[in-house]
Amino acid sequence: MPPRRLQTAIDGLRRQTNLRAKSLIVTVFGDAVAPHGGVVWLGSLISLLEPFGVNERLVRTAVQRLTRQDWLASRPIGRRSYYSLTEAGRRRFEDAHRRIYAVPRGPWDGQWTFVVIGIGDGETAERDRLRRELLWQGFGQVSATVLAHPASDREALRHVLQDAGMADRAIVVIGRAERLGPVPPLATFVSSCWDLEGLAQAYRGFLGHFRPVWKALEAGGARDPETCFIIRVLLIHEYRRVLLRDPQLPHELLPAEWAGTAARALCRNLYRLTYEPAERHLMQRLETAEGPLPEAAPYFYQRFGGLEQEGPAAAAS
């Protein structure tokens, strides 16, 4: 059992966290299964998720839905079913992985990327799909047919245009903003395209949920593997839900004392504190068709700029 203070913090976290089986499985696959080869026996996954209050029926139903939605593929061997990421699922995880675990970008070069999607007659399903994908990638909507981002990943944008079937119909314009007259300042433009106040509130909620866990871990001494795994999953589950709404604008365009900066530091430090015991728990509980779970791929250890370092407590205070 974890120390009483830590258990109290985890119990509070569970009460505050809205856990749905499908979303939880997406978190576990992306954070824990994918780095270990991306294949797992369903029975061991069911056992792994028991501490989160998700029963076997809910796990099976959620996995079936993810399979229908082309996230997962099933491979039966004897009486056992093994699940792995589809190619489409792997691409989605890779996109999310870059946003969740990558090191923050350097100074902004002042350039903007504008995507014009209103070329041609009428509205199409392809345009609707492209608009949704661009908004998911953090673009802001300037008008019904124009979206913008100040730090777009060009390779990711190219894939989005191709996947939406709009590579030959959308216009991409990249350039710097210039004030040639009495136009509104960039801060006004940014606030009209992105709900930064709503996002800051979500980050403050994340900080309020996880700071007690950090403080309890620091005061609690030894950390058992299952407890660390639970913390790690809840941490990434909640951070992912906020971060994937974050357009990740350059520092130069964000409000002073941006709550997302403190949230990222806390997430990084808690992850570094819990990942090793959590990995031991995974290796003991999950199974593949070949037997035990393989070791994590090298890229896993590059998360948050490197997992061997342990962040300063000051960053989470």
Q: What is the pLDDT along the chain (317 residues), one digit of tens a residue?
A: 567 777 777 877 777 777 899 999 999 999 999 999 999 999 999 999 999 989 999 999 999 999 999 999 999 999 999 999 998 888 888 888 888 998 888 889 999 999 999 766 555 788 888 999 999 899 999 998 999 999 888 888 998 898 888 888 899 999 987 765 555 678 888 999 999 999 999 999 999 999 999 988 888 766 899 999 999 999 999 999 999 899 999 998 999 899 999 999 999 999 999 999 999 999 999 999 999 999 999 999 999 999 974 433 434 43
In which domain, by residue range, is 129 found?
111-176
Residue 151: give its domain's CATH number: 3.30.70.240
DSSP assignments along 185-243, one per residue: PHHHHHHHH--HHHHHHHHHHHHHHHHHHHHHHHHS----HHHHHHHHHHHHHHHHHHH
Determine the 3-state secondary structure of 11 from DSSP. helix
pTM: 0.88
> Cα dihedral angle (60, 64, 65, 70), rounded to 10 degrees?
140
Q: Is residue 284 part of a domain?
A: no
Q: Is residue 145 part of a domain?
A: yes
Minimal CA–CA distance to 250: which of 150, 111, 142, 157?
A: 150
Query: What 8-state DSSP symbol labels residue 251?
Result: G
| Count of structural domains within the chain | 1
Minimal CA–CA distance to 242: which of 193, 206, 207?
A: 206
Q: E-assigned strands of the chain? A: 39-41, 72-77, 80-85, 111-116, 140-141, 146-149, 171-176, 287-288, 291-292
Task: Identify whether the C-beta of residue 303 lies closer than 8 Å to the C-beta of residue 232.
Answer: no
Measured distance CA(167)–CA(175) in Å, rounded = 19
As given in the structure block, the two tokens for residue 221 are 């001494």
Q: Is residue 149 part of a domain?
A: yes
Number of H helices, E strands in the chain: 11, 9
Q: Is residue 172 part of a domain?
A: yes
pLDDT at res. 122 = 55
Which residues does 187 contact at the CB level (< 8 Å), separation at least 6?
253
Q: Is residue 156 part of a domain?
A: yes
As given in the structure block, the two tokens for residue 61 are 């139903």
Measured distance CA(278)–CA(27) in Å, rounded = 14
Q: Is residue 310 part of a domain?
A: no
Q: Is residue 31 part of a domain?
A: no
Q: Which residues pair with 83 in a beta bridge?
A: 40, 74
pLDDT at res. 40 = 96
pLDDT at res. 314 = 34
Task: Identify whether the C-beta of residue 247 lies closer than 8 Å to the C-beta of residue 138.
Answer: yes
Q: Is residue 115 part of a domain?
A: yes
Query: What 8-state DSSP symbol labels residue 108?
Result: -
Residue count of the chain: 317
